[in-house]
Amino acid sequence: MNSIKSNIQNLTSLWQTVSEPLNSYFIETDFSFSLIEHSEWPNRLWFNQEINKDGIALAKEKLLSISTNLTIPYWDIYNSNSFEMLDENGFNLKFEQIGMSLKAPHIFTEIKTLSLKKVSTEKDAKLWSILFSKSFGYFTNPVLLTKSQKNTDYYIAYHQNEAVGTGILHTTNNVTGIHSVGIVPEQRRKGYAEQIMKLLINKSIKINSDYITLQSSDMGKGLYLKLGFEEQFTIKNYALHTCIEHS
């Protein structure tokens, strides 16, 4: 359970870390949320404990009071069916993810034709945002990447001189989370995702992380299992049905 909590803590810490420099991270009694204007990511509202009717009512009130769409993740770790309360209160399931972790392994052999460049300039940030949008289908404001963010590095993956994908490393305590690994559609099915993952895992090992975590789609799960990750829990991602949905 501790490794599951570490996985969730790394993920929510990333959302908090991205949002704080823009004064866009907020804490309520039952939940926290990231609300960044002119950006679709991260923009999440997450509960800080097992959900209950009062907390859901307060979250619903908050969501109805704002104009920006927020995704509501539910960690399916409580051995209950409490998520059914979301279904009963007008929340629609958008997509599911699988929380996974890896005890830091040996260094992977790196294929020299693929490299990672850390985002360090406004030009890099704009390119990363474009690649992210192509890979995932929604927009991240490049200004997020230019703000000082503790223990968070954004990477652009290059094959020779062509940018092909993105990734993020975010470190909390002895855990490094790998996030937003995406490949632009025209460069898929070439093995780049696996190469990016190996490069990011190697970077995580070199900073002495004990565990590496991520959140996978069902489609990506096979790759992560191949690399040694283990499934931990399910994340059910909801949207309030009155809000305009985006992926």
Residues 6+ apart with CB under 8 A from 72: 44, 45, 46, 59, 63, 86, 91, 237, 238, 239, 240
Ordered by start, the domain boundaries in the chain are 2-97+234-240, 103-232
In this prediction, residue 242 carries a pLDDT of: 65
Q: Tell me: the pLDDT tens digits for 95-120?
A: 999 999 999 888 998 877 899 999 99
What whole-number distance in Å separates Cα of residue 166 and Cα of residue 127?
A: 10
Q: What is the DSSP string of 110-133?
A: PPTTEEEEE--SHHHHHHHHHHHH
Phi, psi of 165 (to 5 degrees): -170, -175
In this prediction, residue 1 carries a pLDDT of: 58
In this prediction, residue 241 carries a pLDDT of: 75
In this prediction, residue 201 carries a pLDDT of: 96
Q: Enter the pTM of the model.
A: 0.94
CATH no. for 103-232: 3.40.630.30
In this prediction, residue 246 carries a pLDDT of: 40
> Hey, what are 114's tokens?
């693929």
pLDDT averaged per 10 residues in sequence order, the chain, 247 residues? 90 97 96 95 96 96 92 95 94 97 88 92 97 96 90 96 97 96 97 96 94 95 97 97 50
Residues 6+ apart with CB under 8 A from 191: none
